[in-house]
Amino acid sequence: VPNLQHRQAIAAALDRGQVRTISGGKYAGTLADGVIKPNLPADYAESGMWTGLLGGEIPDAGDPELAKQLIEESGEPMPEIRFDYSQTPERDKEAAAVVTSLKKAGINVRPNPIEPGQYYSIVLDPEKAGEVMWSGWGPDWPNASTVIPELFTPAGGFNLSQIDDADFSSRVQEAKTNTDRTSQSEQLKELNKEAMEQVWAIPTLFGRTQTMAGSKVRAASGENDNVYVWAPYSSW
């Protein structure tokens, strides 16, 4: 979707609250405002995406009137959007929520369910991908330098938005090679905010999972008789 205000309109119209409800409500996660999640505390900062960054405060259910205004200001008619998603019963419901909420702003969405095993071979191919697609990402280790470069630069490997902005990529590289962790954090926060302002992705959830462990789980030595979840990886 090359028109910035069209992308902003899609974000403004989306009922993120309904997406969260379908995913499992509070058990599925918290509503996201960017691609850097709060359990990377050194690199996370509120982006302002839903509190003014796109031109107004946007409720969880979306703001179709703001979306209509953005489309009008764009000077171009909004094209039909094909929404690619990996088909499961839950994703079918999410796709229906996307179609319904965007239609309130006059945005026509054609859902395109894809067999899960074929999904990424299609959406990672610019010749086959639709305008908008569902995806998720998590950091490879507790540093957002494993998030921003991967998602928003041609060299990243998971650039679903097909972004090739030379200035942005240059600043991403500067952040990746910055060995001063404090200033690197500030760079990553600003890059996240800029990506959201440009709506290269629409954040929905900072995802959560529920796990259980037996009370008698312990190391073979008999020590450490409690297991715990390590936050950066959300795993034991």
What are the tens digits of pLDDT across the range 140-159?
A: 889 999 999 999 999 998 99
Reply yes or no on whether the pLDDT at 87 is more than 80: yes
What are the tens digits of pLDDT across the range 106-138?
A: 999 999 999 999 999 999 999 999 999 999 999
Reply yes or no on whether the pLDDT at 57 is more than 80: yes
| Mean pLDDT of all residues in 63-74 | 98
User: Which residues are within 8 A (CB) of 135 and not within 5 positions of it... i.e. 6 or more apart?
Assistant: 123, 158, 160
Res 220: pLDDT: 66
Which residues are 127's β-sheet partners? none
Find the farthest-apart pair of alpha carbons in the chain and give their distance in angstroms, rounded: 69
How far apart CA 110 and CA 99 sit, in angstroms, is 7
The model's pTM is 0.91
